[in-house]
Amino acid sequence: MTEGLPDPRIPAGPLADAWRRTREGLPLISPLRKGQMDVLVVGTGLAGASAAATLAQQGYRVTVLSFHDSPRRAHSVAAQGGINAARSVAVDGDSVSRLFADTLKGGDFRAREAGCQRLAEISSGIIDQCVAQGVPFAREYGGSLATRSFGGALVSRTFYARGQTGQQLLYGAYQALMRQVELGRVQLLTRRDVLELITVDGVARGVVARHLLSGELEVHTARTVLLCTGGYSNVYFLSTNALKSNTSAIWRAHRKGALFANPCFTQIHPTCIPSGDVFQSKLTLMSESLRNDGRVWLPKNPGESRQPDAIPEAERDYFLERLYPTYGNMTPRDVASRRARELCNAGRGVGPGGRSVYLDLTDAIRAEGKDAIAARYGNLMTMYERISGDDPYKKPMRIYPAPHYTMGGLWVDYHLMSSIPGLFVLGEANYSEHGANRLGASALMQGLADGYFIAPSTVTAWLAGNPAQDVATDHPACREALETTRRRISQLINSAGNTPVDGFHRELGSVMIDRCGISRHADGLREGLEQVKTLEKRFEAEVRVPGETSGPNAELEKALRVKDFFGLAQLMLRDALAREESCGAHFREEHQSDEGEARRDDVNFAHIAAWGHNTNGEPIRYSEPLQFTALQPSTRSYK
């Protein structure tokens, strides 16, 4: 239903200059007045660090909470391949309209076209900003910025810094942030875990955080709150995310009233190092950029036992090139992942358990030489060899799909504000431009667009139109949030069970990857929902959390995160069950073409599903209809 859904504030008129018109119409605040207003930013990845630095530069008093001991450890540092931008180059003639169309089509027409257009328009400015900060992008011999291709595009628009693009972009945002810390405009508080959102009269005014070293619960208040806490792929236990990446901040906001949009839209990345054994706790990404020079293949014969170099060309199946001759190995992630999984399930996989496909750089090394490939991907090649023990210059990499990114997140309007007034959500934590499938190299683009360019304008507009008094830390709403958090912690610490938290998390991940992973079907989703409910009850009765509430307690941290993952997992399963279509990374087996491709239902599901928390019953599903004017939905084909 649409009744009860906030106004998404999509600008009227032509798309091409919608953001410019919106920005120019937003109210402003004088620099002197900004210096009297507190802004709270949670998270120090690309979205959080860039937003905090920019808001502080504008004059606000900014408090930043980071889970880590340094903002440089935020998970944005792990992004490898590059950042997209529509900067015309002579060789392919890319444009803003092409990036807009690729983004909207890549998301299978399940995103707002106004957001996709704005992202494409801002993208060029992001590169200028980062170059000015000294980010060491790769360059051609003549000095111009180098680019490479990523999945879902026929042009070369991805700017990169070898295989460390996220790290270098984060260092740029970090130095901008630390400059503001040095100037006294930002108070940076590290090792804080946000466990509850504080609302006063329905408006977001602060958070409760636990100090990870002392165990003390703290209250932080401000005029507005920005959540920049990343995605929730760790609901699957094994993912490419950092071990401590979690959903707690956005999940607690959801339980306070923030709508959660399309939680089942989760991306399985096709190029990851396969799991080694059942006790592994994390998976490692191999950048999609490797598919520029690497060819993905499998032996044609099931059960092949020969080494890859002993298999002749005639007995190899370069299946992405065969199935998708136009895009070849650069097909989007959701498509490439499904095809790899299907072939492995058919007995064609290689490696232990037949759960791998080959990513082979042999032809590129033969054509350009080892040094040229090392210059592009050297750190990735080193990482692969250290983990697998195989030299990727001599032997094809073994890769397999793994949970990586979440397109779903808290619902936000065009101004990046959630359904809770005063609560802004940036980066991967929100549901915005990526629809049902994110294109490679667009995550960094979105995070920096939100932080450097969009939120600084829209947050100011909100504050200008909503004057309010400061909230003291002993306000009744703060005391209530503190007490709620203490009760949650006490229940976990006092549990009389004997099972470690990781055991439950691993079981939850197994259910989710099986029932709500690369493919889904109705019976499996219903069974998965009952399995998660049963597992959550067992968790509450049988979990063991050793240690005390005071001081460091890693097991308590994990228990709090996993408890929230149980609630999120159930919402993901409900969302996947309710969306009776296949679109992007949401592949319902009942809804596919004869060729095994996703079959959308634009009549009934061309909308954003936004779920509201219901304390006394099942969550409420709202829908925001999607309107298309510049590009009409069409069957997504990469052949």
Q: What is the DSSP string of 397-421?
A: EEEEEEEEEE--EEE--TTSB-SST
- Bridging pattern class, strands 284-285 and 266-273: antiparallel
DSSP H helices in 369-452? 370-388, 443-448
Q: Which two tokens stand for residue 432?
A: 């915005």
Which strand (E) or helix (H) includes residue 392? none
Radius of gyration of the chain (CA): 24
* Residue showing tokens 């890549």: 106
φ/ψ of 61, rounded to 5, equals -90, 110
Catalytic residue (one of 333, 338, 339, 600): 333
**Cα–Cα nearest to 84, from 139, 160, 20, 193:** 160
285 bridge partner residues: 272
What are the tokens at 612? 């509201």
Residue 376 annotated to the active site: no
Q: How many CB atoms lie within 10 A of CB 314?
A: 6
Q: How far apart are CA 553 and CA 279, in angstroms?
A: 22
d(CA 121, CA 446): 12
DSSP 302-314: TT--S-GGGS-GG
| Alpha-carbon torsion, ordered 483, 484, 490, 495, to 10 deg | 160
CB 391, CB 374: distance < 8 Å: no
Task: Tokens for 158, please give them.
Answer: 């991805």
E-assigned strands of 119-238? 147-148, 158-159, 186-189, 192-200, 203-211, 217-221, 224-227
Please state, in angstroms and rounded to a whole number, the distance separating the CA atoms of residues 394 and 492. Answer: 50
Instruction: Please tell me the distance from the alpha carbon of residue 574 to that of residue 330, in angstroms, as a whole number.
Output: 32
Q: Which residues are catalytic?
A: 333
